[in-house]
Chain A
Amino acid sequence: SQQGEEDPQALSIQEGENATMNCSYKTSINNLQWYRQNSGRGLVHLILIRSNEREKHSGRLRVTLDTSKKSSSLLITASRAADTASYFCATDAIRGSTLGRLYFGRGTQLTVWP
Chain B
Amino acid sequence: ETGVTQTPRHLVMGMTNKKSLKCEQHLGHNAMYWYKQSAKKPLELMFVYNFKEQTENNSVPSRFSPECPNSSHLFLHLHTLQPEDSALYLCASSSGEAYTGELFFGEGSRLTVL
Contacts and interface: CB of A to CB of B under 8 A. Distances in A.
Contacts of B104: 45
B107 A42 contact: yes
A102 B42 contact: no
Interface in A75-114: 88, 92, 97-106
Contact of A102 (B4, B88, B103): B103
Interface size class of B (residues with CB under 8 A): 20 to 34
A43 B90 contact: yes
B48 interface: yes
A2 B85 CA distance: 24
A31 B4 CA distance: 23
Interface in B89-112: 90, 92, 94, 97-108, 110
B71 interface: no
Contacts of B42: 3, 103-106
A33 B102 contact: yes
Contacts of B4: 42
A3 B100 CA distance: 17
B99 A102 contact: yes
A48 interface: yes
B12 interface: no
A74 B112 CA distance: 33
B108 A40 contact: yes
A100 B108 contact: no
A42 B91 CA distance: 9
Contacts of B48: 99-100
A42 B56 contact: no
B45 interface: yes
A42 B104 CA distance: 9
Interface centre among A3, A31, A43, A48 (most CB of B within 10 A): A43
Contact of A42 (B45, B98, B108): B108
B99 A41 contact: no
22 contacts: A30-B100, A35-B105, A40-B88, A42-B2, A42-B90, A42-B108, A43-B43, A43-B90, A43-B92, A44-B2, A97-B97, A98-B99, A99-B48, A99-B50, A99-B55, A99-B97, A100-B31, A100-B94, A100-B99, A102-B99, A106-B40, A106-B41
